[in-house]
Chain A
Amino acid sequence: MRMDKNDHATIQAVLAGDKEAYGTLVVRHSQTLFRVAYRITGNEADAEDVVQEAFLRGYRKLEGFESRANFGTWIYRICIHCALDRVRHRRGDEISRVGDANDPELDQLQVADEKAGPERLVLSGEIGSMQQAALSSLTAMERTAFVMRHMEDCTTAEIGAALGMDPNAAKQAVFRAVQKLRRRLAPLRVAT
């Protein structure tokens, strides 16, 4: 459909007035953005919205894109921010559901897990549910930092750069996330 130019040439074309050329970049990077957006937001609908939002923001900021930078990295960071915004926006609702360790709903789930055998847990997919619940209990920043470190294999320096924080602060965010997750998923450890 479109000529497969490299990203920089495509960007020049877009800035010269060829709006359709941006479609090439969208097609090229959509899958990657969806993956990270899904990992951070935890659901498909939000992830799809985040991907669209990221490409929209990217288009608006395209004039400020430094030619030395890598478009993939650049749009990935924008996507991280969009996902972070989405999780923060959603967080108010989630705190009321699975916000902290005293959440009765989660306690109930944990009690049920402990009574059930590990095979049943695996089969019912409740381990995954607990993991999702545990991830949801993190702050948006902790969750994003953890996803980037644990699932996207980003270094703390990359996380810091993407989230606009000192690498040490990024490391601390990951560390806090891991501590919280381990604490919340301790019942699973006993069950297995």
Chain B
Amino acid sequence: MHLTEEEMMEQVYGESENTRAVERHLAACRDCANNFAELQRDLAALDRVEAPARDIGYGERVWASIAPLLPVYRFEKRRWWTTGLWKGLSYAAACALLAACAFYAGRVWEQKKQPSVSQAAPKNAAPKQPIVVVVLDDHLDRSERFLVELKHADMDSAAMVSPMRDEARSLLAANRVARKDAAQENDPDLTTALDHLDRLLAEATNEPGGLNAAAIARLQDEMNADGVLFEVRVLRSRIARRNGTGNIPAKGGSI
């Protein structure tokens, strides 16, 4: 196995990683030794190109030729905030300040907004109600409207049926949350009513053939048999009394 030209060149330029091994090989292999000697001769023949001498005034002349072309560096260019590190830190600080201002503005806005709501409560002289009550009332309000729509549904109108089914699906999810809360609150009337509502909504949502005329007629029968609409209205009145308003609260009326 002979040395490659590249390996020999590395050896000539003193960059071989295996200098000793190459030397041993050259000592043992006449062909490689001849090729190596030839390479050395060739490289030695490639004389170093000696640059013509420049006199001592050369540098001055170079300077004289370029000086008029150079602008004066302005000291301002090297202000501390223009250096890389400080520039980065400045950007970071500016971002942090912006975030802090945004946070503070948000807090101020929240504080200004809250009194307008809380001031409404004393005017009504109503005790604070848990948010869940309002959520429940909202749910019952939506359910009542759905049931009224179902009761008066035009069985021949497909345009009405599709949104009703979507609404039933949405109400079903909310109803299950409300039912769970009612069970935890140990409120049998509410739980029973929500059970009836759940059954009706589940059927409306999962009707295999969609909400066709037959399905709507059947749902209307069930609704009437269970008195679901009546139950929902009773529950809404009860919540209104609990709120102390005596009226059925409008949707989103107070928190």
- Which residue numbers of A lie inside 8 Å of B, CB to CB? 14-17, 19-20, 22-23, 26-31, 34-35, 38-39, 42, 44, 47-48, 51-52, 55-56, 59, 62-63, 128, 131, 135, 147, 149-151, 155-156, 171, 174-175, 178-179, 181-182, 185, 188-189, 192
Contact = CB atoms under 8 A, between A and B. Distances in A.
Nearest to A22: B70
A63 B77 contact: yes
Contacts of A52: 62, 65-66
Contacts, number: 109
A21 to B, nearest CB: 10
Contacts of B77: 15, 63
B59 A26 contact: yes
A15 B72 CA distance: 8
21 contacts: A19-B73, A23-B63, A28-B59, A31-B54, A34-B51, A38-B49, A39-B51, A52-B62, A55-B62, A56-B70, A59-B66, A63-B77, A131-B46, A135-B49, A147-B49, A149-B13, A151-B49, A156-B15, A171-B15, A188-B45, A189-B41
B78 interface: yes
Interface of B: 5-6, 9-10, 13, 15, 38-39, 41-43, 45-49, 51-52, 54, 58-60, 62-63, 65-67, 69-75, 77-78
Contact of B59 (A27, A175, A185, A189): A27
B45 A27 contact: no
Given A15-B78, A31-B54, A178 B9 contact: yes
B62 A30 contact: yes
A42 B146 CA distance: 93
A55 B52 CA distance: 20
A27 B66 contact: no
A64 to B, nearest CB: 10
Nearest to A31: B54
Contacts of B74: 17
B67 A14 contact: no
| Consensus secondary structure, chain A interface | helix
A42 to B, nearest CB: 7
Given A175-B6, A182-B42, A59 B70 contact: yes
A87 to B, nearest CB: 13
A178 B43 CA distance: 8
Contacts of A15: 73, 75, 77-78
Nearest to B83: A63
A26 B75 CA distance: 21
Given A62-B73, A63-B77, A55 B66 contact: yes
A3 to B, nearest CB: 15
Contacts of B13: 149, 174
Given A17-B73, A31-B54, A149-B13, A42 B49 contact: yes
B75 to A, nearest CB: 5
B1 to A, nearest CB: 20
Contacts of A20: 67
A175 B9 contact: yes
B59 A30 contact: yes
A73 to B, nearest CB: 18
A27 B60 contact: yes
Most A C-beta atoms less than 10 A away, residue of B6, B41, B59: B59
B63 A44 contact: no
For the complex of A and B, the 7 pairs showing the least CB-CB separation, nearest first, are A27-B59, A30-B59, A38-B51, A23-B63, A26-B63, A35-B51, A151-B48
Contacts of B38: 189
Contact of A51 (B45, B47, B52, B62): B62
A22 B60 CA distance: 11
